[in-house]
Amino acid sequence: MNVIQQLKLGFRSLMLHKLRSALAVLGILIGVTAVIWLVAMGEGVSYQAQQQIKNLGATSIIVRTIKPSEEANSTSGGRSGISYGLLRSDFERIITNVPTISVAVPMREISRDVRRDEFVVPAQVIGCTPEYFSINRLPIARGRPLAASDLQRLENVVVLAHDVAEQLFPIQDPLGRAIQIGTEFYVVVGIAESRTAAAAIGGSFSARQYNRDVYIPLNTFRKRIGDRVITVHRGTFQNETIELNQITAV
């Protein structure tokens, strides 16, 4: 029996048992689809994990401030104050005593509402140096990043993350316009590209939402906002003093 006869015999058998043949084909299709879907899902998760590691920097060392637990600092009403975290002197020691480090970037952050006319956006205000953008792989979509001269002159300039820029300026061009953080006004000099959230670090269970950040010079942060933050929690004034939230070294 040649090949053609075998094919004819097989086709005739399929036609005699149409329902069984259809179910067999359907089972094969479902099985193949399931395998492809599982492989694709695994590749997607693997790619996302690799991107998060890449965004953090495979050779980066991140030292981060962790707030003490409320139980360790609880008081019975009234006014309380705590001082914790990294110091500017810690940053100086790192860059002085670790010769293998090529770049070290200090960072200070605080949650604040950012305003522009009637628009109000809750954001994370980041005080940083110009190297923060390159070390964290934050490309600028428009305008420019922070410059060394901004730190030296204590300039009131700001770089907006993608989402913050869209919410504060849904129609207008943000560049060259002013936004308000607290009682101070800052001129927008740049807009960062949109970026996916990075993996949680420093004992935090929440991912880093870069698209909710606004960036100002670190020296300006220290001058305009300061190291001391007063919050009200359950009728208690909490006075927190923090010099630096994070130091990233490469």
* Residues 26 and 79 both lie in one domain: no
Q: Are residues 22 and 100 in the same domain?
A: no
Whole-angstrom distance, CA of residue 121 vs CA of residue 230: 21
Whether 19 and 84 map to the same domain: the answer is no
Q: Do residue 93 and residue 169 come from a single domain?
A: yes
Sign, CA dihedral 243-92-62-144, equals positive
pLDDT score, position 76: 43
44 with 68, same domain: the answer is no
pLDDT, position 218? 96
The pLDDT tens digits for 132-151 are: 999 888 999 999 999 999 99
- Contact by Cβ (8 Å): 25, 205: no
Give pLDDT tens digits for 203-243. Answer: 454 567 889 999 999 999 999 999 987 766 666 777 888 99
Report how far residue 190's alpha carbon sits from residue 124's, in angstroms, rounded to the nearest whole number. 16
CA-to-CA distance for 205 and 89, rounded, in angstroms? 28
The token pair at 230 is 């007063």
pLDDT at position 238, please? 75
Q: Which residue has the higher pLDDT, 79 or 126?
A: 126
Residue 97 and residue 74 in one domain: yes
pLDDT confidence tier of residue 24, bands split at 50, 70 and 90: confident
What pLDDT is recorded for position 53?
Answer: 63
> What pLDDT is recorded for position 100?
84
Give Cβ neighbours of residue 247 (< 8 Å, ≥ 6 apart): 62, 63, 64, 86, 90, 91, 94, 104, 105, 106, 107
Let me know whether 118 and 238 are in one domain.
Answer: yes
| 180 in the same domain as 98 | yes
User: Do 162 and 215 share a domain, yes or no?
Assistant: yes
Same domain, yes or no: 42 and 93 = no
Indicate if 85 and 162 belong to the same structural domain.
yes
Would you state the structure tokens that stand for residue 244, as one six-digit string?
Answer: 């630096």
Domain count for the chain, please give it: 2
Rounded Cα–Cα distance for residues 31 and 176 (Å): 57
The dihedral over CA atoms of 148, 152, 157, 160, expressed in degrees to the nearest 10, equals 40
Q: Which residues contact 33 (CB under 8 A, 6 or more apart)?
A: none
Domain coverage including residue 11: 3-54
Strands 157-160 and 140-143: unpaired
Residue 200 has pLDDT above 60, yes or no: no
Q: What is the pLDDT of residue 207?
A: 64
- One domain, residues 151 and 229: yes
